[in-house]
Structure 1
Amino acid sequence: MTNKQSQQRYEIGMVGLGIMGRNLVLNIADHGFPVAGYDQDPNQVEALRKDSAGRDICGTDNIKDFIALLRPPRAVMMLVPAGAPVDSVIKDVLPHLDKGDLIIDAGNSYFKDTDVRARKLSAKGIHFLGVGVSGGEEGARHGPSIMPGGPKVAYERVRPVFEAAAAKVNGDSCVTWLGPGAAGHFVKMVHNGIEYAVMQLIAETYDLMKRGWGLNDAEMHEAYASWNKGELNGYLVEITSHIFSKQDEKTGKQLIDEILDVAKQKGTGMWTSQSALELQVPIPTINLAVEMRDLSVFAKEREQAGAIYQLSHRRLAGDHDTFLTQLGRALFAAIIITYAQGMALLAVASEQYQYHLDLEAVTRIWRGGCIIRAALLEEICSAFRTRRDLPNLLLDPNLSVKLMEHQEDLRQVVCQAAESGVPAPGLMVSLGYFDAYRSAWLPANLIQAQRDYFGAHTYERIDAKGTFHTEWEKGGES
């Protein structure tokens, strides 16, 4: 073997050796695959070297040396922030690649940007995969959920690596090829939209416990820990229980009470909302979650409004245990409704963008590693396994029974929130979506009449085919 051949033995290369990239490199190496790492920052390269003791890993801050380490056809993976940094990496590595090599964007890129990059690289003979990775630092190190999209032949090049590194549930790897083009990044985007909504819903239950009922942090810790043992079992509920037991090292108080009530975002939730509007798919709970993060930023205005209106929050009354049970059941109902909205968006996007998504496979790889993993996903998998063309989870016989069993709890909690003045818009809009979706008749006929009245936009009739226009008042607009 020549010296050049001995160098070109690393199975995959990672550009970006921050916490996520470095952890994924260590994960891949732990599963027997030699990995090369590259970062412009020598300190990041040194951190990788320290962490990689005993593993088949090589780190460098020289792009040419990095590419030389990879076995052909080369697979270059990047974990860098979305937008300009992705294009910058592509620009840097492209001169060193050959036709048939592969670039993998494992960040949270906007799916339309992924389409543009894929077309440009394809014209140069370079494969491109847009890959969603969920699980945070812990997932990257010990097994994330991986959502690849792009050319199937390109996925096969790295499939063994991804299957080994991904989270495992009942022996199944939480990764599968999802479809062509930007399918992987679109699925990850919707995953994050669902994540936004579930976090908002959980935050509203916290507010109802804290301001509506007056529970302390220890009591809320116990409530979420108890919920996590039942039907609400899932990563976000689990970590919420842990949050309420964490003490602040600086003040000695509970850390949750020292955190500013301003929530930030990186764009994936907003992109989900934008995409849903473009595809005309209603996802009001997800939209509301995005908007509430926006509203949280207006802290000074909220303070001013509070001083103007000076509305006290009425304490909720009744039995403590009954309330917590009802609140948990309401949360479960709203989470089912949230998943229904997200999966409905995926169903429409799959057809519109020709992704040919297998929604059972999507939910199957979400069962482990990812942020929205939850016991409920087993039932969602079953729903899509039974009916592959299911347009909305609310039409599944089994989930509809569960929702009917819980909808009265959601209704009662929404009423209590409205009476107490504690904001619960996510729970409210979830109930509104449910009631509208199950309504065979909606008052949209009045909206059409109004549109025809002021703009001659016409309307359809229930007793005849075609479009119609009425002169609603003599001399009025037509």
Structure 2
Amino acid sequence: MMNTNSSADQFTFGMIGLGTMGRNLLLNMADHGFAVAGYDKDPEKSVLLEKEGADNVVKGFTDIKSFVNSLQHPRSIMMLVPAGPIVDSVIAELTPLLDKEDIVIDGGNSHFTDTTRRDKEMADKGFHFFGMGISGGEEGARKGPSMMPGGDEDAYQFVEPILTAVAAHVNGDPCVTYIGPGAAGHFVKMVHNGIEYAIMQLLAETYEVMRKGLKMDNEAMHAVFKSWNEGRLQSFLLEVTTDIFAYKEPGSSTLLLDGIKDEAKSKGTGKWTSQVAMDLVTPIPAIDSAVSMRDLSKYKAMRVEAASLYADEQAGLSVDKAAFLAQLEQAFFFSMITTYAQGMHLLASASTQFAYNLNLADISRIWRGGCIIRSAFLETMLSAWEKNPELKHLLLAPAVQETIKETQPGVRAVVTTAIAAGIAVPTYATCLSYFDAFRSASMPSNLIQAQRDYFGAHTFERIGQEGVFHADWQGEASVQP
């Protein structure tokens, strides 16, 4: 039964923020035998925590001082509150109550630059601090998430037994590992979310092709998604999509999906991924496209007006449905792999730029279970970096090359057919174009360099000749046809 005694030094771990994620993660810890305490200003959340944790040693608090005093020394406290100023306000309220060597963990989706700052500020005050990305949603928090801790390694080692116990496990491996110094954990979680954006957009575009192009009904689409999820495309996001295409609210004869507005929300992590990728000069067009499409979805009124101005009868695709669905499966696999490859390339760039010393094999390993982007393909990714830790890009891995070559015809067929029919497939198209540019030994960028030098004297480099050059493009040496 619940231990209601709130004497000092009783609880092993504390949680600030008892919303869905915080409460479920704390209950997960309690299920594994840890005495835990939670704090929230909302009394109802503390009551709910104690009710759901009644069979374990769980205590809810609404007074932060009593909460802090109830924890064993050195105290281990995680915050699961909305990213941004709220995190700073919680830290400001919390730190006067702490002792030196206490540990504070930010388990939210904080921007990595904020985590870098907080890491230094807390260290200067004598406290241990680290940021940790957590993926898996409500179910993951309760049954086993994937966790990406980075920052103070000593602090991580102290709480590692708890995190290892509550993490998802795949083939005996816990889906948690020390990621790297500073804000490495939150950076990796941010890129994880960017990949998530792109795969979700690919599934939405797949839905669009099936619905508008192949004129498939919901039942038929559910069958296809279910079949795919039983094969090489198996993934959490495909599983979720399959379930959505079978869900009807009690008493309803139609899918809930058909009653949901086509205006997608976001919390910013996809945008952050695109922004930092541009700063690091590392292209991730699949994620960029997904962010842009979410943004475009919000302009519903303008889209409705444009639809009336540019009305186009959707006659459907003139294709063999079974054959085209096989190509669509290839296209999705090709594009999913390309999305992973872009995200991992960004992690490699960040590892060098920010001295994170990221282990891409370990990151692939902990993403295999618990997290939103888990998929069967992550086993191939793990194997690729285990075989070659210096692998520069996932598309250069031998095992991946075989799959890309096999699925390439499918993505070409889907993109060209959909575009010809006026069906938007921007993320599919950008994955294919990225691949075609990536495999090009000679890009047309020499023209861009010439243009920049022509109008701005920005100089250029020559093939086979050292140095930096500038041409008098309108001078006597110019040749006019």
Runs (4 or more) in structure 1 with deviation over 6 Å come to: none
1:214-293 map, 5 Å: 214-249=215-250, 251-293=252-294
Alignment partner, residue 36 of structure 2 = 35
| 1:307 lines up with 2:308 in the alignment | yes
CA distance in 2, matches of 1:68, 1:187: 33
CA distance in 1, matches of 2:328, 2:68: 55
CA distance in 1, matches of 2:476, 2:67: 76
Deviations 1:340-367 (A, max 9, x none): 0000000010111111010000010000
More moved, 30-39 vs 315-324: 315-324
Alignment partner, residue 418 of structure 1 = 419
Deviations 1:101-122 (A, max 9, x none): 1110000000000001111111
CA distance in 1, matches of 2:319, 2:352: 49
CA distance in 1, matches of 2:218, 2:109: 34
CA distance in 2, matches of 1:341, 1:235: 20
| 1:19 lines up with 2:20 in the alignment | yes
CA distance in 1, matches of 2:84, 2:117: 12
CA distance in 1, matches of 2:273, 2:391: 20
Report the AA paired with residue 408 of structure 1.
Answer: P
Report the AA paired with residue 436 of structure 1.
Answer: A
Alignment partner, residue 52 of structure 2 = 51
SS of 1:180's partner is coil
List alignment gaps of at least 5 residues for structure 1: none
Alignment partner, residue 445 of structure 1 = 446
1:343-354 map, 5 Å: 343-354=344-355
Deviation at 1:250, TM superposition (A): 6.4
CA distance in 1, matches of 2:396, 2:314: 37
Report the AA paired with residue 176 of structure 2.
Answer: V
CA distance in 2, matches of 1:211, 1:255: 19
SS of 1:460's partner is strand
Deviations 1:75-117 (A, max 9, x none): 1101111001111110111011011111100000000000011
CA contact (8 A) 1:191 1:342 kept: yes
CA distance in 1, matches of 2:309, 2:385: 50
Deviation at 1:251, TM superposition (A): 4.5
Report the AA paired with residue 123 of structure 1.
Answer: D
CA contact (8 A) 1:174 1:369 kept: yes
CA distance in 2, matches of 1:225, 1:171: 27
CA distance in 2, matches of 1:354, 1:96: 33
| 1:151 lines up with 2:152 in the alignment | yes
Deviations 1:112-133 (A, max 9, x none): 0000111111100011110000
Alignment partner, residue 317 of structure 2 = 316
In structure 2, the CA distance between the partners of 1:466 and 1:10, relative to structure 1 (3 Å rule), is: same
SS of 1:465's partner is strand
1:91-102 map, 5 Å: 91-102=92-103
CA distance in 1, matches of 2:55, 2:336: 44
Deviation at 1:311, TM superposition (A): 1.8
Deviation at 1:431, TM superposition (A): 0.1
CA contact (8 A) 1:314 1:421 kept: no
SS of 1:467's partner is strand
Alignment partner, residue 105 of structure 2 = 104
TM-score normalized with structure 2 length? 0.97
Report the AA paired with residue 244 of structure 1.
Answer: F
| 1:170 lines up with 2:171 in the alignment | yes
Deviation at 1:464, TM superposition (A): 1.2
SS of 2:201's partner is helix
Deviation at 1:474, TM superposition (A): 3.3
List alignment gaps of at least 5 residues for structure 2: none
CA distance in 2, matches of 1:269, 1:434: 21
Deviation at 1:463, TM superposition (A): 3.0
TM-score normalized with structure 1 length? 0.97
Alignment partner, residue 203 of structure 1 = 204
CA distance in 2, matches of 1:65, 1:464: 72
CA RMSD of aligned residues (A): 1.5
Deviation at 1:6, TM superposition (A): 5.8
CA distance in 2, matches of 1:314, 1:373: 37
CA distance in 2, matches of 1:233, 1:445: 42
CA distance in 1, matches of 2:12, 2:239: 36
More moved, 231-240 vs 6-15: 6-15
More moved, 70-79 vs 310-319: 310-319
1:184-195 map, 5 Å: 184-195=185-196
CA contact (8 A) 1:273 1:287 kept: yes
CA distance in 2, matches of 1:415, 1:5: 66
CA contact (8 A) 1:314 1:419 kept: no
CA distance in 1, matches of 2:181, 2:456: 42
CA distance in 2, matches of 1:408, 1:434: 13
CA distance in 2, matches of 1:76, 1:144: 18
Report the AA paired with residue 133 of structure 1.
Answer: I
Deviations 1:367-397 (A, max 9, x none): 0000000000000000111111212101101
Aligned pairs, how many?
Answer: 474
Deviations 1:196-237 (A, max 9, x none): 000000110000000011000000000000000111000001
Deviation at 1:252, TM superposition (A): 2.8
